[in-house]
Structure 1
């Protein structure tokens, strides 16, 4: 149960709405690894009661789940995935009541496997997907994809593979200015290796998008992930990507990562513009984590550029720096400070927004099963335009219970 008090919950410059919000919330995390069925699922559901009646009470929910049924071990599996989240209706505005919509992506299909000797493997995946957005037009679609992987291992520490994927997207509504049906083809070589405390994955290839009622496009695929863990306390990870991508792919990537929050903070460095359009993506992210006996620290600088093929008004560059620090005062009493600074430049509107969000809090675990958390939050947006500017201060108290 959370009690929240905000002096500007609608994140407005000159029409601030003060609000007291009471939020009963249920969270779960489920993992089952059986002989033939693997299940991973996590979710949140909450009911927001607005005490000052500035907004109608609402329910928010988020879910990420995957089930893998091995019908024939090492030969045939059936896979189903679902990703439900709350995303902004207008990405240029904040995450306030009335600017959030429910977005869902469901994927299902078979995976077939074969081995040619001890070192060579083959995999084929067939998938159908259904995408839905509560408000935004041009996102609802049916997608069909086929991908093939031919891999070769080299000892215990290296593997090379060839990946070929074709995806057809059919949208419920098409508008050349927003989104059009397309076929996307990706082909790349991947090399994975591990040496002592370092692991890495390198992809090189190309992609093409053939669009109905619009010009076709090509790009280079170049991706690199390097992870270094010098000791049990520290981890450094670098991710760099140049590729075609879309919001469906972005949502799956973020929500399937158990380290990412299902429900975003007030300013989210990875929030999505709900759109079915493909974009050229350049994305570089560094993630350093340290966890000692008392002190913990995480810092995540990120630089990305999204160049949409259809929606030019959404093309933008984003640079952000997020950090988290915690200090254990006593075995069950933790203090923490979080922060985010993000600069967004929209290409066609001459608009620059700068988000600052900082949080100071205390988390106390009374027993194994319950505890409380108190937080103070400052959320500010500066802009070269008048309307997007706002400042919000939030006080929040949470009492939690877990099994």
Structure 2
């Protein structure tokens, strides 16, 4: 088992801690945090668990002192090799309570999606393999009760291996969604049937899902839609990679949390998801392009995207969003690391004729004194322009910190 962790502490100054359009209030507060990554890959246990906890001590008591955290984990226990395993997954994150309001400590809640169940593998021939999955899923939100539910699902997959880099699978999935409060949400059953083709070349990777989905409400009525997903990876050079993703499918807030997935990096901050936490399923169309370059001195990642969400049975207005993410790290002389972050997005809400454009800019300079110790100085600016009069916001944040890594 490998355990990596980071301890950090610092002081932050915020010139508009309440995110007010006018008469901003400034605040200075102390921060302390710990992030970790635990991995194990043995014949019996495969585990990948990462998380972080942040403590904030507000000096002027603008907000109550708080502890916020996130957790992403997957543990697979092999009971019978090549026959039976048991998988447990958990995704804990911070979500906005009101997506129309800017992010602040008063507009955050803990949201958790937990799933567990067995995986049964069986052979149907020399190149034909079968997999039966069963899952119990529990979704829970700290404030938004309409999100809370119990779900039972099963999936049957049959895969034909053509070559070492080419295979085709037929997939059938079924899920029963039972919300805790039937006055706030409609229970339903969802069925997905699709074929997946995967091909790996020397510098290309291709994955395509094509099929159909149907949602049947327990109280009557149904909705159906084609299911289309595609991903193309291209190793453009020895140091650069390009990925293209296209999605047209049914989804919901629980799947959105679960799709965050596990990572192989330690989280250095607790992120806040600003998407809507509705009970309703929605029709999602999403397209993104990602370019990454990793060099000796320079690392760069750029991702433009477009997304449209059409809710099936909620009063929430449909929305479309577009934007781009940019991250750049440059290693300077004297163990100095310069980082630049940019996040620009625009959201338009149907029916309400409301739109918002957000821009986040960040610059940080890190000095590494040894393999374990470093200090950093960071500046962050947030701007939000709203179509509603008097809702524009500006915020500047400075943060100085010290960090210890065990590796």
Q: 1:66 aligns with which of 67, 74, 84?
A: 74
Could you say what secondary structure the match of 1:98 adopts?
helix
Ranges in structure 2 where 5+ consecutive residues have no aligned partner? 1-8
Q: Match for residue 219 of structure 1?
A: 225
Q: Report the TM-score, using the length of structure 2 for normalisation.
A: 0.94
Q: Match for residue 165 of structure 2?
A: 157
Shift of 1:104: 0.6
From the superposition, tell whether residues 180 and 203 of structure 1 become closer, same or farther in structure 2 (CA, over 3 Å): same
Task: Tell me whether 1:192 sits opposite 2:192 in the alignment.
Answer: no
Q: Report the TM-score, using the length of structure 1 for normalisation.
A: 0.95
The answer to whether the 8 A contact 1:142-1:169 is kept is yes
Q: 1:146 aligns with which of 150, 154, 158?
A: 154
Could you say what secondary structure the match of 1:92 adopts?
coil
Whole-angstrom distance in 1 between the partners of 2:156 and 2:268: 30
Superposed counterparts of 1:356-395, under 5 Å: 356-395=359-398
Aligned length: 398
Task: Tell me whether 1:286 sits opposite 2:289 in the alignment.
Answer: yes
Task: Tell me whether 1:274 sits opposite 2:282 in the alignment.
Answer: no
Whole-angstrom distance in 2 between the partners of 1:331 and 1:210: 62
Q: 1:170 aligns with which of 178, 188, 199?
A: 178
Q: Match for residue 335 of structure 1?
A: 338
Shift of 1:48: 1.0
Could you say what secondary structure the match of 1:251 adopts?
helix
Could you say what secondary structure the match of 2:20 adopts?
coil
Ranges in structure 1 where 5+ consecutive residues have no aligned partner? none
Q: Match for residue 4 of structure 2?
A: none
Shift of 1:174: 2.0
Superposed counterparts of 1:99-138, under 5 Å: 99-138=107-146
Could you say what secondary structure the match of 2:163 adopts?
coil
Could you say what secondary structure the match of 1:319 adopts?
strand
Whole-angstrom distance in 1 between the partners of 2:55 and 2:267: 18
From the superposition, tell whether residues 261 and 225 of structure 1 become closer, same or farther in structure 2 (CA, over 3 Å): farther
Q: Which has the higher contact order (CA 8 A, sep 6+)?
A: 2
Whole-angstrom distance in 1 between the partners of 2:44 and 2:277: 36
From the superposition, tell whether residues 159 and 341 of structure 1 become closer, same or farther in structure 2 (CA, over 3 Å): same
Q: 1:244 aligns with which of 250, 259, 266?
A: 250
From the superposition, tell whether residues 263 and 375 of structure 1 become closer, same or farther in structure 2 (CA, over 3 Å): closer
Task: Tell me whether 1:229 sits opposite 2:235 in the alignment.
Answer: yes
RMSD: 1.6
